[in-house]
Amino acid sequence: MFTRRVLPLLLALVVASTLSGPAAPARAQEDPLLVPWTELLPPAPAGYEGSASDLCPQGQTRCVDIVIREMTRRTDRLAKRCDHDAVFALTYLRTTEEYRRAIDDPAFFDDTPFVNHQDVVFADYYFRAYDDWHAGRDVPAAWAQAFRAADGRRITGSGNMLLGINAHVNHDLPFVLAEIGIVQPDGDSRKPDHDQVNVFLNRVTERLIPELAARFDPSIDDGSVPYTSLDATATFQLMAAWREQAWRNAERLVNAASPAARERVAAEIEDAAGATGALLATQYGYLPPLTGPEGRDAFCAAHRGGS
């Protein structure tokens, strides 16, 4: 209850703080503003449960390298044909590449092998959703919205990015966290490492938005403010809020009193992600004949998807 009341207020304060006062030119070597507000929200009590996934259980770094190679293969294929799914695919690839750079510092996470394990399991959720959708199999509603919008070229590039993030973070992430475990064997919460992910997500966002705009859809960076990172900051704060909510939903799954209670929580997660996806699809949808994907597609074709 505390989290549900305080989370929106904290997010509003953070966004307001980024928009107030004169903006100084941002230097390329500096990370965008990071306000680590999620660290102020303590984890709920939960018992230790080992990971139920057998994907890279030892958390070797080479597992992350394999994931990046697979993401690169998929992204290159989508980009060459200017598929609208390429926007989220590149978003996820660049994020994972930044994660790989982060773990070159052995002190970045408390338990790097476990976070590597999480990285592989999390990516597998996306790979399976994409493959299932394109094979005609059922996928969660939030993923169906993202893939349907991309297939039908119905929404802007920003919409493609946000619909993909919504499906992967608001829907997939709680289930991934619950599957692999949110408590260490010694009883300590894994939330500090969960919050630490925000550091490299914040770092990659500022470079990501201009690349997406330069390769796929120039409108993606229409909200940018010259000489600042305010567009990246706002985008990141949305992701941080969604990731905090994903953690709380994982706690609800883990602490459910019965299988039936867990099913109710799972249904609520699915419904909420679906509702957010529907809102985003409306907000970022084209309005034919006034707006449409033609200009974006022509731009991407002229640049061959940046390949």
Q: Over the stretch 81-135, which tens digit does the pLDDT of each residue have?
A: 999 999 999 999 999 999 999 999 999 999 999 999 999 999 999 999 999 999 9
**Residue 223 falls within a domain, yes or no?**
yes
Angle between helices 112-134 and 141-151 (to 10 degrees): 60
Sign of CA dihedral 118, 121, 123, 129: negative
Does residue 44 form part of some domain? no
CA 169 to the chain's CA centroid? 5
For 281-301, write each residue's pLDDT tens digit. Answer: 999 999 999 999 999 999 999
CA pair distance 301, 123, nearest whole angstrom: 28
Q: Is residue 64 a part of any domain in this protein?
A: yes
Alpha helices in 152-257 (DSSP H): 157-165, 173-180, 191-215, 230-254
- Sign of torsion over alpha carbons 237, 202, 86, 54: negative
Domain range for residue 73? 57-306
- Predicted confidence band of residue 304 (pLDDT cuts 50, 70, 90): confident
pTM over 0.75: yes
Distance (Å, whole) CA 57 – CA 53: 7
Distances (CA, A) of 81 to 147, 184, 219: 16, 44, 19
- Does the residue 194 lie in any domain? yes
Number of domains forming the structure of the chain = 1
Residue 39: inside a domain, yes or no? no
- Does residue 35 belong to any structural domain of this protein? no
54, exposed or middle or buried, with CB in 10 Å at 0-12, 13-18, 19+?
exposed
